[in-house]
Amino acid sequence: MPDAGAATHAPGAGAITLSPVEVSSKTTAIGEPVLMSTNIDGENLGYVYFFTGFYDQNNNSIFVADQDYLESADTRELGGVYYPDWGEGAFKMQFEWEPLMFGINDGQKTVNAALKPESYGALPEQAVYSVDGIYTYADGGEQRQARLYFQDQKLQQVMGFTGNESGAAPREIQPQAGDTFTITETWLDLDGSGNVTKRASQQGSTLTFGDQMFTWRELDAAPGEYVVGFIAEDLDGNKTEAYNTVTVQ
């Protein structure tokens, strides 16, 4: 798995740098958060995310468990798009991580789901997160790739894709009772040196639409080893990453 404190730079990345991630403790539990920190320097900084991945030792792979926007004290707006304002010059990013995951509740059950940041929002509750999966219509059983969009913990929209998602125009789906959504999980396969060799997807749990619209909730993280750290993205979309490992007891 990735070396503790490792920092990586995406191909073609700009001048943003992250120092190795420092942790206040290598072990944690519910109610015992770990303080994590990195020094961020560079120009054109846009978003900073916190990444959480569960390390599956048997398969030498990382389950992408969560990605979150990290917020700044101030927000700026460029062309109708909101960004955190990190000020000028280098700064120390600190984040207190408690081993919590997120799950989606359909009114009957809650299942784990990795929320992906989509848009930042002028206020924290206006940020939008998404979850990819397979939508199945109860009437006829037709399936298609789909994406759920959440804001302020509630499902706001379901978009479906016909054929290849990257080449198809999305169309909004109006959920009906009995329709289902099967979550797509993302796994990062590693080589012997801890480098990511492949990004793989597999089907996870299934949710059913009923009388209650989906909401997301916090869940306790399962015991085990986690890869956690920071991802800094410049305004051109280049990303720089730095990670460490923490064991949840």
Is 234 in the same domain as 208? no
Say yes or no: 225 and 208 in one domain. Answer: no
Domain tally, the chain: 2
3-state helix, strand, coil in the chain (%, to 5): 0, 60, 40
47 and 88, same structural domain? yes
Dihedral sign from CA coordinates of 34, 118, 137, 217: positive
- Which helix or strand (DSSP H or E) is residue 93 part of? strand 91-97
C-alpha span between 208 and 202 (Å, rounded)? 19
Domain with 184, as residue range(s), is: 100-220
The pLDDT tens digits along the chain (249 residues) read 555 555 444 434 457 999 999 999 999 999 999 999 999 999 889 999 999 999 999 999 999 999 999 999 999 998 889 999 999 899 999 999 999 999 999 999 999 999 999 999 999 999 999 999 999 999 988 999 999 999 999 999 999 998 655 566 899 999 999 999 999 999 999 988 888 899 999 999 999 999 999 999 999 999 999 999 999 999 899 999 999 999 999
Tally DSSP H helices, then E strands, for the chain. Answer: 0, 22
Q: What is the DSSP letter of 138?
A: T
Residues 153 and 242 in one domain: no
Query: Is 55 in the same domain as 79?
Result: yes
